[in-house]
Structure 1
Amino acid sequence: MIGEVIPNIVRFHEYLIKRTDDRVRDYPLMQSPVQMTLILLGYVFLVLYAGPRYMANRKPYKLKTAMVIYNFCMVASNAYIVYEFLMSGWGTTYTWRCDLIDPSTNPRALRMIRASWLFYFSKYVELLDTAFFVLRKKHSQVTFLHIFHHSFMPWSWWWGITLTPEGGMGSFHAMVNAMVHVIMYTYYGLAAAGPRFQKYLWWKKYMTAIQLIQFIVVSVHISQYYFMEKCDYQVPIFIHLIWIYGMFFFVLFSNFWIQAYVKGKRLPAITEDKPKQNGFVSGSEAVAVPNGKHLENGTDHYTNGFALSAKIKEV
């Protein structure tokens, strides 16, 4: 039994290498699933074991300047990714309905492939979000949901880039996500810059609505596939996965919306030791800050728009 496992893994690996789209084969991290898997396993090991042990007897690093630079670099890179998605199809030739994968080597298709790969690569850069938490000894923020999100996204996107690098209608959610990240990292950058920038964060409460709209838009767009008379999208499994992913997080975020607004609570802000991670609240308690007050540390963090909270308290 065990003797058959390794040969089967080798055969599957060889199949993937042959199946990898020639147009993306030479891009970094695309030669084999082994590379990206080892990177992501190393990420999990560092943030769960090596990082906390290294910081155990050390004072937390401040990293204010590094965080400001990092966040605004992410703003610029995500804005560029959005621009490339628009210029390579979504703002030019795509119908926004049943847009098939273009297997050709025309300049537009190659530009879309580059945009998709840049989005994929940006997910590795976002691993620094967790590194900042570990180095600042915000270990309570490094939750299972945070780690799962940051490791699953680049892992799953490797398969998409390998099999369908041009993407077609399957790339829409990436463009929308990059748009949202422009807004989110702008907020993070200003918040990390210190209390003097709090007056520019009056729109903080709208972050919740932006995140909710993101998944409504993505889910509605991808749902068209199920109602079209005919759509010959070449790899429909990615359509199903995008729909499941969007609806799953839409349900989670809707629950947060109900807790924050329908039940009379203000949008929760997170304390210094219990922030949000790209949309998932890191921890079991969220603390609602009275209207008009702001956190001064600038570290409250969302994870792609989702906040999960077991308890909401008012201070």
Structure 2
Amino acid sequence: MASLIRHLVSNYNEVLENVKDPLVDTWPLMGSPGPMLCIVGTYLIFVLKAGPKMMEKRPAFQLNTVMILYNAFQVLFSIWLTSLALEVDIRQLFSSHGCNNVNHLPPSPQKKNLQSALSRGAWWYFFAKIIELLDTVFFVLRKKQNQVTFLHVYHHTVTAVFSWCYLKLLPGEQGVVVGFLNSMVHIIMYSYYFIAALGSKYRKYLWWKKYMTWIQLLQFGIMLFYLILTLALDCRMPKALTYFFVTNVVIFIYLFSDFYRKAYKTKTA
């Protein structure tokens, strides 16, 4: 019990020690959690209650042009986010952060530059998660409420809230790998939605729909392996952040596996 308490106190202190960067506070939506929580709260009220009620006696909105432009933007934006992650030498995430080294060195100028780059990239990643809330809004406006599932809403809500918390409270180098993998998957996912938005004559190019879930599960599997590796190597990264990542990755693996089973396995049974 004593070791558990020490462990919890250590992780709590990690959070306090990382609330240091005053520059982040000056960035849009980062001064306090209020604006972010208002956006997410409005999102939840609209997609779960107000939106369906508003659309109950209305015809579905035809948003073909909007969907084409939106998905094209998301593809390009995801490519750009991926390029930001590629600018970081992944070897730095191990060699410069004391993995398997109890003689931790004080922060170097290289680490400070890396952290600054991570913070800037993390803000754009957070911005992407806010923009992605429109996915569900479009479902509601197009009267596709069957696609507003627990998995969909939970995924969008958690990623938006946690992306803010990550940047504001506990930034860590683990975010590079997680953000890179997620942005790669989103290039594929929004490419699919872009093709689908072009119209029925392009449906013959969408035979790979069910494989998107495989790709998402593979993404989570790689994330889990990486996060466990940082713990096994005792890398000097915020362990509280790693534990939170691991918890959510496990939840996502369960939810996406359950979705795949219900959407595809049940149909073929």
Q: TM-score, normalised on structure 1?
A: 0.69
Q: Greater helix share, 1 or 2? A: 2
How far 1:97 sits from its partner (Å)?
9.3
Distance 2:246 2:141 in 1: 36
How far 1:57 sits from its partner (Å)?
2.1
Q: How does 1:104-183 map to 2 (within 5 A)?
A: 107-165=113-171, 167-183=172-188
User: What secondary structure does 2:266 align onto?
Assistant: strand
Kindly provide the amino acid, as one letter, of the partner of residue 132 in structure 2: E
Contact 1:99 1:169 in 2 (8 A): no
Kindly provide the amino acid, as one letter, of the partner of residue 29 in structure 1: L
- Relative to structure 1, is the Cα distance of residues 231 and 108 closer, same or farther in structure 2, using a 3 angstrom cutoff? closer
Distance 1:141 1:312 in 2: 17
Aligned equivalent of 2:30: 30
- Relative to structure 1, is the Cα distance of residues 130 and 103 closer, same or farther in structure 2, using a 3 angstrom cutoff? farther
Distance 1:141 1:79 in 2: 26
Distance 1:98 1:172 in 2: 15
Aligned equivalent of 1:244: 247
Aligned equivalent of 2:7: none
Aligned equivalent of 1:55: 55
Contact 1:81 1:115 in 2 (8 A): yes
Contact 1:219 1:243 in 2 (8 A): yes
Contact 2:129 2:163 in 1 (8 A): no
2:208 to 203, 212, 216: 203
Aligned equivalent of 1:193: 198
Q: How does 1:4-83 map to 2 (within 5 A)?
A: 19=19, 21-83=21-83
Aligned equivalent of 1:232: 236
How far 1:46 sits from its partner (Å)?
1.4
Contact 2:94 2:235 in 1 (8 A): no
Unaligned runs of 5+ in 2: 1-14, 100-105
How far 1:99 sits from its partner (Å)?
7.5
User: What secondary structure does 1:53 align onto?
Assistant: helix
Q: TM-score, normalised on structure 2?
A: 0.80
How far 1:249 sits from its partner (Å)?
2.2
Q: Which has the higher contact order (CA 8 A, sep 6+)?
A: 2
How far 1:125 sits from its partner (Å)?
0.4
Distance 1:202 1:226 in 2: 39
1:3-62 deviation per Cα after TM superposition (whole angstroms, max 9, x unaligned):
xxxxxxxxxxxx99x935223121111000111111111111112222122222211011
Aligned pairs, number? 247
Residue 87 (structure 1) aligned with residue 87 (structure 2): yes
Residue 313 (structure 1) aligned with residue 267 (structure 2): yes
How far 1:149 sits from its partner (Å)?
1.9
- Relative to structure 1, is the Cα distance of residues 89 and 27 closer, same or farther in structure 2, using a 3 angstrom cutoff? farther
Aligned equivalent of 1:262: none
Distance 1:118 1:130 in 2: 20
Measured on the aligned residues, the alpha-carbon RMSD in Å equals 3.0
Unaligned runs of 5+ in 1: 1-14, 260-284, 289-310
Kindly provide the amino acid, as one letter, of the partner of residue 239 in structure 2: P
